[in-house]
């Protein structure tokens, strides 16, 4: 009877703080688990002392506290805890990496505190929605020399002390992809600058990534101009189109406010690659469209002046070629992804 009362009392006390598991981060989970353990210890000590014989109340309190701590921690443990997490995204969509052993990592927590099995493979778009990448999942992230897994789409991570660690999946030097985490940024000419950062902390101390001054395309050519996106671990540029799915129609491509030519070219390049990968395009079709896109880019390069500007007539001509390519591509994949 006494044992039943002890277990019931501990469960009730430890369960109360565990109801707060509508948390968003591993930090909050850890805090809640500490609270449930502490609650269990306190109630366990009181209950143990109360049910023990008078001369053994001190020992009963100790035993009850130990049992309460264990039970409280167990009740307070979430089904998928931080011990098995690669890390978590906070409410600002920033990645917090954990030093979880590779053999123990099972998943991660999204920005809403929901558990997701597997490592992150994608990014949060400008509309704060998750955009899943259709590329190679094995190229979606990497471990740094601290044993912390980082999504390729992130510019780094927050460590256990809340410090921002700038890191990316690799970098280009002299047109050659050098795999492995690195810290640095590209200048406007595509030169790698070790240690440089392309971002800033806002008034709340949240790290904000700035647009890149350009990117290396699939032919390893530097494409100058503001660009949003990231490189996977193989050095493939993944364009992050605002308010669009991974390969969905970018709304800004239609009508007034059309996206700049480089952004459209990046999207078309990725759509061709996706079509070749998922079979919606045959190898011959993918090669043909890749060649057409390459021809447009070569023509664009020749049309730009010394300040990298295009005359209005040149821009209109290039836009017509891109529209034609997109129309033909849409027909080839039967409208999928448009």
Residues in the chain: 338
- The β-bridge partners of 184 are 194
What DSSP string describes 51-80?
HS-GGGHHHHHHHHHHHHHHHHHHHT--SS
Q: What is the pLDDT of residue 95?
A: 92
Percent of the chain with pLDDT over 90: 22
3-state secondary structure 154-205: CCEEECCCCCEEECEEEEEECCEEEEEEECEEECCCCCEEECCCCEEECCCC
The strands making up 164-166's β-sheet, listed across from edge to edge, are 115-117, 107-109, 85-89, 95-97, 156-158, 164-166
Condensed to tens digits (0 to 9), the pLDDT of residues 144-180 reads 988 999 999 998 898 877 788 888 999 999 889 999 8
Q: Give the residue with greater pLDDT, 297 vs 38.
A: 297
Question: Would you say 145 and 167 are in contact if contact means Cβ atoms under 8 Å apart?
Answer: no
How is residue 125 annotated by DSSP? -
Average pLDDT, the chain: 75
Q: What mean pLDDT do residues 193-199 have?
A: 85
How is residue 128 annotated by DSSP? S
Helix axes 283-303, 261-278, angle to 10 degrees: 170
What is the CB neighbour count within 10 angstroms for residue 53?
8
Range with the poorest average pLDDT among 81-90, 103-112, 179-188, 236-245:
236-245
Condensed to tens digits (0 to 9), the pLDDT of residues 26-53 reads 656 655 654 555 555 555 555 555 555 5
Does the pLDDT at position 142 exceed 50?
yes
Q: What is the pLDDT of residue 93?
A: 87
Distance separating alpha carbons of residues 130 and 322, to the nearest angstrom:
28
What DSSP string describes 223-266?
EEEEE-EEE-TTS-EEE--TT--SSSPPGGGSSTTPPPHHHHHH
Spatial CA neighbour of 25 closest among 155, 160, 129, 144? 160
Rg, the chain, Cα only:
27
């Amino acid at each position: 009877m006494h044992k039943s009362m002890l277990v019931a009392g501990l469960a009730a006390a430890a369960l109360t703080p565990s109801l707060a598991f509508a948390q968003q981060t591993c930090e909050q989970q850890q805090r809640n688990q500490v609270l449930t353990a502490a609650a269990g210890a306190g109630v366990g000590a009181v209950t143990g002392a109360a049910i023990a014989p008078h001369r053994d109340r001190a020992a009963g309190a100790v035993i009850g506290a130990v049992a309460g701590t264990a039970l409280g921690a167990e009740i307070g443990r979430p089904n998928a805890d931080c011990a098995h997490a690669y890390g978590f995204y906070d409410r600002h969509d920033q990645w917090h990496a954990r030093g979880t052993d590779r053999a123990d990592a099972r998943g991660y927590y999204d920005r809403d505190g929901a558990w997701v099995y597997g490592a992150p493979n994608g990014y949060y778009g400008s509309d704060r929605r998750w955009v899943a990448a259709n590329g190679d999942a094995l190229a979606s992230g990497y471990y740094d020399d601290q044993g912390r897994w980082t999504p390729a789409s992130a510019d780094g991570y927050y460590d256990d002390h809340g410090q921002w660690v700038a890191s990316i999946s690799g970098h280009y030097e002299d047109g050659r992809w050098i795999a492995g985490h690195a810290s640095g940024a590209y200048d406007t000419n595509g030169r790698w600058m070790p240690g440089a950062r392309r971002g800033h902390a806002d008034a709340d101390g949240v790290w904000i990534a700035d647009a890149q001054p350009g990117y290396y395309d699939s032919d390893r050519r530097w494409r100058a101009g503001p660009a949003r996106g990231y490189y996977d671990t193989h050095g493939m540029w993944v364009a992050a189109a605002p308010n669009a799915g991974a390969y969905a129609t970018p709304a800004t491509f239609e009508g007034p406010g059309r996206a700049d030519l480089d952004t459209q070219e990046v999207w078309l390049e990725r759509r061709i690659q996706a079509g070749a990968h998922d079979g919606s395009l045959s190898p011959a079709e993918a090669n043909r469209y890749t060649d057409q896109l390459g021809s447009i880019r070569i023509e664009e390069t020749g049309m730009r002046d010394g300040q990298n500007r295009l005359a209005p007539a040149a821009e209109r001509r290039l836009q017509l070629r891109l529209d034609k390519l997109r129309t033909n591509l849409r027909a080839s994949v039967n409208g999928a992804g448009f």
